[in-house]
Amino acid sequence: MRPEVLEIPLFVNLLAVFVGALGGTIRAGEDDHTDLMGVLTLAAAMGFGGGIIRDVLLGNLPPAAFREPLYLVAAAAAAGLGMLFLYYLKKLGRFLWWLDTLIIGLFACVGANAALIAGLGRLPTVVIGTIGAVGGLILTDLLQARPSSIMYAGPPNAVAGMAGALVYALVYTGTQPVVTTALAVAATFVVRLTGP
Amino acid sequence: MRPEVLEIPLFVNLLAVFVGALGGTIRAGEDDHTDLMGVLTLAAAMGFGGGIIRDVLLGNLPPAAFREPLYLVAAAAAAGLGMLFLYYLKKLGRFLWWLDTLIIGLFACVGANAALIAGLGRLPTVVIGTIGAVGGLILTDLLQARPSSIMYAGPPNAVAGMAGALVYALVYTGTQPVVTTALAVAATFVVRLTGP
Amino acid sequence: MRPEVLEIPLFVNLLAVFVGALGGTIRAGEDDHTDLMGVLTLAAAMGFGGGIIRDVLLGNLPPAAFREPLYLVAAAAAAGLGMLFLYYLKKLGRFLWWLDTLIIGLFACVGANAALIAGLGRLPTVVIGTIGAVGGLILTDLLQARPSSIMYAGPPNAVAGMAGALVYALVYTGTQPVVTTALAVAATFVVRLTGP
């Protein structure tokens, strides 16, 4: 029996890019000198940077973010709305935190699944899943010339993504994507809830 | 009818890499500690960094910059001449500005064309074209650990590249590469001439 | 006669990743705020970052570092041992310097060989070999938001790697991998021994 590709429904993927891009817009808003192109760049980087790095490493080119134009629409919409309502957006912190954790978990699953389909072993799968989950953050830090925040004490985004990818890689049988994903996302939440 | 690959003549491509690499040499010259390897690195990064990122994203590997050895020769020649004549090179500012704008426009066209040939939609095509046009600048900023200059108020390089790619993607029919390219480069000039 | 793939024995490759990752661990230890994920990230980046960039540029995807799980084990082991014995590790400076030079030379050969097999010319081969040799250093600098150390006066890592790749590309015939590699590694040592 062939292993199943993990088909996260498109609207969930789009929501993930949208929320990630909102986070990028907030990052852009922290710096007064960022112009419109900067907001769009950071929204895109945070929204699907992790997916692009994942697809480049697995050789799935062009990356999904460019094959489906709606991803770019979602990121641009997030950047536009984020700029208009930045004041209110920042007040949504706790709600966004939940969404963000959900998305780290989902991206870890998508990355881990793609790695397994590509025939990688379980250990590399965990690494690819983690990169898929926090690659957007890494790219955003690079573009802003900040030391990569995944390497320093703080919210355990990378550890949470790794926990999700690890559970996914361990539980994965190729036949129960929903159960596997649910367990992996739960692991992501546990790490993030118990972290600083 | 098959869409045509945009065949920018090789000498135009080489000129583009040469001028871009001169810009990288000037960037290296701003920093007293840069050694010869640093000049070569920045010349190469600015000369064909955008093309490499474009080719990686589209899966056209190895990138054109490595398949045709003359690109490396052009970048190394620019680095050598740039170091010898840095004083005079800086006086050429206005002339280089025109050449640079032309090249941003041409690279936006080459990137957009490659994206369309790869079957991408018009919106992703604009993004790939923009990345092809200013990817060298992004890479140079990364290597010098500066916040990416495309994100901040200043010369609208990225917007100019995006305008070129946008016009190319909209006008493109696959049959009139010269007209399409001329219109796209004109759009690039309009944005840059009206920008700061 | 087909050109031979340069088969560096797996244990040599693993040793190279291990020593590179030790260097990454030392880099992480210079910065008090780095957490466990940061040590693992820098160990991996320094251990096989160059190999990943090389494989991405040549289109050999997924990169070797992910196809063979033992690479990740070697990097993780180096990070673990490096953290436990950081004090002693720093005392090993001179011994590590010899190992490090050997590894720069070997990675330059592996990169140059892969580029020649991919059909690239001798000049691009030198560039790919150099990137393979010092790409881990470049990636580590990027992640720590430091200007890329290969561009500044200091230990001539990039020049040493380039010397190795240059000798490999010039001497290469496709039939004498051991002799070719020995000469290239010797060139790497000559440059590094005569450098600052």
pLDDT tens for A136-152 read: 999 999 999 999 988 88
Give yes or no for a contact between A188 and A168, defined as CB atoms under 8 angstroms apart.
Answer: no
Tell me what pLDDT residue B5 has.
60
Residue C1 lies in a domain: no
In the chain, the amino acid numbered C138 is I
The SS3 assignment for B146 reads coil
With cut-offs at 50, 70 and 90, classify the pLDDT of residue B13: confident
Residue A84 lies in a domain: yes
Per-chain mean pLDDT for chain A: 89
C23 CB neighbour count, 10 Å cutoff: 23
The C-alpha atoms of residue C87 and residue C155 are separated, in whole angstroms, by 23
Shortest alpha-carbon distance between residue B104 and chain C (Å)? 23
- Interchain contact A146–C (C-beta under 8 A): yes
Tens-place pLDDT, residues C78-110: 999 988 887 777 777 778 888 889 889 998 998
The C-alpha atoms of residue B14 and residue C120 are separated, in whole angstroms, by 18
- Range of A110's domain? 10-194
Question: Does the beta-carbon distance from A148 to C41 stay under 8 Å?
Answer: yes
- Please give the interface size between A and B, counted as residue pairs whose CB atoms are below 8 Å apart: 74
With cut-offs at 50, 70 and 90, classify the pLDDT of residue B7: low
The C-alpha atoms of residue B196 and residue C21 are separated, in whole angstroms, by 46
Q: How many domains does chain C have?
A: 1
The C-alpha atoms of residue A139 and residue A116 are separated, in whole angstroms, by 24
Eight-state DSSP code of residue B2:
P
Tell me what pLDDT residue A66 has.
94
Residue A3 lies in a domain: no
B34, B37, B42 ranked by CB distance to C158: nearest: B37
pLDDT exceeds cutoff 50 at A133: yes
Tens-place pLDDT, residues C13-40: 888 889 889 989 988 988 878 889 999 9
- Which two structure tokens, joined as six digits, stand for C102? 């050997």
Question: Does the beta-carbon distance from C69 to A153 stay under 8 Å?
Answer: no
Distance between alpha carbon C87 and the CA centroid of its chain, in Å?
A: 24
Give yes or no for a contact between B49 and B131, defined as CB atoms under 8 angstroms apart.
Answer: no
User: Which residues, listed in sequence order, are joined to residue A152 by a DSSP beta bridge?
Assistant: C34
Higher-pLDDT residue of A29, A93 = A29
Tens-place pLDDT, residues A49-107: 999 999 999 999 999 999 999 999 999 999 999 888 877 877 777 788 888 898 899 98
- Interchain contact A155–C (C-beta under 8 A): no
What end-to-end distance do the CA atoms of chain A give, in Å? 43
In the chain, the amino acid numbered C69 is P
With cut-offs at 50, 70 and 90, classify the pLDDT of residue B1: very low
Only one residue has tokens 């620019």, namely: B78
Q: How many residues does chain C have?
A: 196
Residue B16 lies in a domain: yes
Eight-state DSSP code of residue B156:
-
What end-to-end distance do the CA atoms of chain B give, in Å? 43
Tens-place pLDDT, residues B85-113: 877 777 777 788 888 898 899 989 999 99
The C-alpha atoms of residue A113 and residue A165 are separated, in whole angstroms, by 9
pLDDT exceeds cutoff 90 at A196: no
Give yes or no for a contact between B124 and A72, defined as CB atoms under 8 angstroms apart.
Answer: yes
User: Which residues, listed in sequence order, are joined to residue B152 by a DSSP beta bridge?
Assistant: A34
Residue A22 lies in a domain: yes
The C-alpha atoms of residue B134 and residue A191 are separated, in whole angstroms, by 39
Give yes or no for a contact between C74 and C47, defined as CB atoms under 8 angstroms apart.
Answer: yes
CA nearest to A61 within chain B:
B59
- Which two structure tokens, joined as six digits, stand for C31? 């910065």
Of B108, B158, B109, B110, the C-alpha closest to B138 is: B158
The stretch A20-44 carries a mean pLDDT of 89
Residue A2 lies in a domain: no
pLDDT exceeds cutoff 50 at A1: no
Tell me what pLDDT residue B11 has.
82
Residue A63 lies in a domain: yes
B58, B123, B150 ranked by CB distance to A37: nearest: B150
The C-alpha atoms of residue B100 and residue B112 are separated, in whole angstroms, by 18
Question: Does the beta-carbon distance from B33 to C152 stay under 8 Å?
Answer: yes
The stretch B21-34 carries a mean pLDDT of 87
The SS3 assignment for C34 reads strand
Peptide bond before A124: cis, by omega within 30 degrees of 0? Answer: no
Residue B24 lies in a domain: yes
Task: List the beta strands (DSSP E) in chain C.
Answer: none
With cut-offs at 50, 70 and 90, classify the pLDDT of residue C55: very high
B58, B118, B151 ranked by CB distance to A143: nearest: B151
